[in-house]
Amino acid sequence: MAKGFYISKGLGILGIVLGVAAVCTIVALSVVYAQEKNKNAESANQAPSSTAATSTATTSTAATTLDQSKPWNRYRLPKALVPDSYQVTLRPYLTPNKNGLYIFEGSSSVHFRCNETTNLIIIHSKKLNYTTTSQGHMVALRTLEGAKAPDIDKTELVEVTEYLVVHLKGNLQVGSLYEMNTTFTGELADDLAGFYRSEYMDGNIKKVLATTQMQSADARKSFPCFDEPAMKARFNITLIHPSNLTALSNMLPKGPSVPFEGNAAWNITEFQTTPVMSTYLLAYIVSEFTHVEEMNPTNSKVLIRIWSRPSATNEGHGAYALNVTGPILRFFEQHYNTPYPLPKSDQIGLPDFNAGAMENWGLVTYRENSLLFDPKSSSSSNKERVVTVIAHELAHQWFGNLVTVAWWNDLWLNEGFASYVEYLGADHAEPNWNLKDLIVQNELYRVMAVDALASSHPLSTPAEEVNTPAQISEMFDSISYSKGASVLRMLSSFLSEDVFKEGLASYLKAFAYKSTTYLDLWEHLQKAVDNHTSVNLPHSVKTIMDRWILQMGFPVITVDTKTGNISQKHFLLDPESTVTRPSEFNYLWIVHISSLKNGSAQSDFWLEGASKIQDQFKTTGADWVLLNVNVTGYYQVNYDEENWRKIQDQLQKNLLVIPVINRAQVIHDAFDLASASMVPVTLALNNTLFLNKEREYLPWQAALSSLSYFKLMFDRSEVYSSMQKYLKKQVTPLFSHFETVTKNWTQRPENLMDQYNEINAISTACSSGLPACEALVSKLFSQWMANPNNNPIHPNLRSTIYCNAIAQGGEEEWNFAWDQFRKATLVNEADKLRAALACSKQVWILNRYLTYTLNPDLIRKQDATSTISSIASNVIGQNLAWDFVQSNWKKLFNDYGGGSFSFSNLIQAVTRRFSTEHELQQLEQFKKNNMDTGFGSATRALEQALEKTKGNIKWVKENKDVVHTWFTANSN
């Protein structure tokens, strides 16, 4: 599943200086895959009214009476029964019944084999109402192979563990195959989980569709199933649906839809049997959506289709996705040395979808902004978003779907791998964009900000520590995605890509249609290493990688170029924080180190212990060394003061001698080291002096990202004025450069990275008060207001122009933008406007906007928490958003807290500026006041916020005066 809420590149860049980037960084760190509260929760345990009369079983066990010694009160399924296949028929009603509820009816037949003697059938079920048999039970049971099935004693629903439990009068026979049948109804709620409904407007007409989101534990909300990833089976899906709508599922239909007997307004679509697969990868959709299609150019047996709202299809918004899907599939077939395993690859953009995307096998679901692209209104960053998310989801079709992690504690392997190779797949589809370089900024640096906290956690968690749906939800964080991507990229780098691919292909072949742990991958990579004498590792793959997988954090590598001493230690942003989590490796890593001396590559080196003297890191005269070439290693680097000065001199004399990624690294690492009190903050600031000569995106982005912390700490103090003056001085040459390159902003640069840095130039120049930039923004936005049907602002620049214009303007500009947001038919445009509306400097406008987030008719549920986060990132909106969150916590928690990863982003967003004792007290009181309500998926984020606030208080006390002095001295 792709990382969730997406903020456009322009908006993200702009926010670094204007405040929106606080959100952008937070949002991109974490994944937003979600299970919002059922709108009709009060009716959840009642039988929904349907067209057919049903009697329902109401036997259930309340949480207060649970006996933890009973197997049905444990969250993990017993191993006694293993599913073989399912036959599932579902009929969604897309109009409400007489009780005002949307429902679906269903029947299921599961074939399972008995592996261990038992007199229980325990299967997952959530919010389903069952029709009872003539014997008064919720299920019927019979034998397919072996002796007659035992009679049923009783059936019950255990709500807290989400089980349907069948108590038998005798034992099931080991080796026998059984069939269990159920008939049920469920609510087709708008909760974005399980089988749910999505609504959208087509002109003035409300349209309703039925769709799914099963990961991680919501297939059970659609039909009773053994809902764990290792419980793989074959699925036979049949959908009964209105005859004017189209039904989709993981596989192609067996044939044309046929009329439903007795009602010509309904059709039946029966789908081909799936391969052996996990329940969380199931998908089925009933909608009026249309598609564009082609056959995979290298595999004519694979049909590729892009589905969307008919208007979006007609306007060509699926064309770009169609163009890149074939090349990406072809790339992964070669990368994995394994053919695409299904006959078709459907991808569909949904109006209501709370993840970025979901890799359902053969039917990938997306947010519209992650699949659809309108060349007239979408920016280059929107296009990058589409190609990278498609690559992420298609990578899963093999790694995750064909071979699946056995349990959610190893989610990092699934999502970390896809988050790494998405850059490779996207780079293949768009070879001129240099997308592979972006992984350092987008994944590695962002996750280091979290992984450098004492409250971080290892990539791999013991399976016994991950049991409940809430614990599973906590696995979907930036550590799993971005750190997973970073350490796998590091592994591929020191093995070589060819050896890595060889081991990967062997792994996929050995475990196709099965489940694994990360140790299985290490074993196959080791076999590949053993086949290549050119790869010399100091230890086995497992021994090296255990240090990166089983302990949290990462090292800072310190080099003393006077002596050649190289050493490592656990890097913590707050050096006084206490690490309570033990490590069997004592927070030491086996580190692969690449280096340059005076711009020339040196031989690689492995640091295995705490320190070592190594002559290649010793310098004389004007020589300098630089470690971690192209930042392939997951670590930071510190040098003696003299070597830092030599690197600064080199950047001032000829910055091109140092690779562009390392120019960004010099800035990023120094600011983190300063935060940890390992170097003076003035050293980090001195590393930005060369930027008045820098024209590349990555170094500027590293600087603006690092300085965004200074903005958060100081934009409520006098320091911010001198900081703005310094930024204006540094960015003026960049602004002038792009003014020339773009012929006075009338053309876009050809290179993608230059397009991104053009946005940096405008956003930084405007926020630092450059008059030419303010005039540009005002002119373009005024032209649009004068002629709303002809937007003169290029899509690349819209996020930054909109935000600056709304910040400079008043009610008139805000209301205009709100009207345009309400009218926007393209989600990418709506997203830009929705975020820019948070840039206002009017308190009353921001307060009104906050209230809009509680009204799903104004702000979609899927966008509510990110909108609050955008407002919080505005210095004017910070306290307003914090007060709003405190006042509305219970409602926000009930609506979004259970499994929504946007919820943890919200806590991070409203607390990022906290840097006073008063704010720390407020945060502690907030935690105390809401212990009864709870914090759900934001629990870990709240602890991190407390830790960060304490660190911020200390940092501001130590650095405020010296930072003010430095900015003042360097502003002229």
Residues annotated as catalytic (active site), given as ranges: 393
Scanning the structure block, which residue is given the tokens 């001295």? 969
Compute the Cα dihedral for 461, 462, 465, 470 and give only its sign.
Answer: positive
Check if the beta carbon of residue 110 is closer than 8 Å to that of residue 184: no
Across 330-402, the runs of DSSP E, i.e. the strands, are: 344-350, 357-358, 363-367
Phi (first) and psi of residue 209, to 5 degrees: -130, 160
Helix (H), strand (E) counts: the chain: 31, 32
Q: How far apart are CA 11 and CA 948, in angstroms?
A: 25
Check if the beta carbon of residue 305 is closer than 8 Å to that of residue 344: yes
Scanning the structure block, which residue is given the tokens 């969307």? 308
Which pair of structure tokens corresponds to residue 581? 């989590």
Secondary structure in 3-state letters for 748-763: CCCCHHHHHHHHHHHH
Instruction: Please report which residue ranges of 809-899 form alpha helices under DSSP H.
Output: 811-823, 827-836, 843-852, 861-873, 878-887, 889-896
Check if the beta carbon of residue 162 is closer than 8 Å to that of residue 257: no
- In what helix (H) or strand (E) does residue 653 lie, and over which residues does it extend? helix 641-654
Q: 3-class DSSP state for residue 515?
A: strand
Compute the Cα dihedral for 571, 576, 577, 583 and give only its sign.
Answer: positive
Scanning the structure block, which residue is given the tokens 């602890």? 943
Task: Characterize the bridge pairing of strands 555-560 and 636-639.
Answer: parallel
Check if the beta carbon of residue 391 is closer than 8 Å to that of residue 399: no
Check if the beta carbon of residue 291 is closer than 8 Å to that of residue 251: no
Give the list of residues 6+ apart from residue 450 with CB closer than 8 angstroms, or none.
29, 456, 477, 478, 479, 944
Of the CA atoms within 13 Å of residue 503, those in its CB half-sphere come to 24
* Three-point CA angle 158, 161, 163, nearest 5°: 50
Give the relative orientation of helices 21-29 and 901-911 as an angle to the nearest 10 degrees.
150
DSSP-derived secondary structure letter, 596? E
Instruction: State the DSSP string of 290-314.
Output: EEEEEEETTEEEEEEEEEE-HHHHH
Phi (first) and psi of residue 298, to 5 degrees: -100, -5
Q: How far apart are CA 644 and CA 638, in angstroms?
A: 8
Scanning the structure block, which residue is given the tokens 């796998």? 488
Q: How far is CA 738 from CA 744, 761, 797, in A?
A: 8, 8, 13
Q: How far apart are CA 103 and CA 189, in angstroms?
A: 8
Q: How far apart are CA 625 and CA 406, in angstroms?
A: 44
Task: Characterize the bridge pairing of strands 194-202 and 152-158.
Answer: unpaired
Instruction: Please report which residue ranges of 406-474 form alpha helices under DSSP H.
Output: 411-429, 438-439, 445-451, 469-474
Taking alpha carbons only, the member of 477, 490, 462 closest to residue 415 is 477
Give the 3-state secondary structure percentages of the chain, helix then strand then coil, rounded to 5.
Answer: 45, 20, 35
Q: How far apart are CA 357 and CA 32, in angstroms?
A: 10
CA end-to-end span of the chain, whole Å?
49
CA 922 to chain centre: 29
Q: How far apart are CA 876 and CA 873, in angstroms?
A: 8
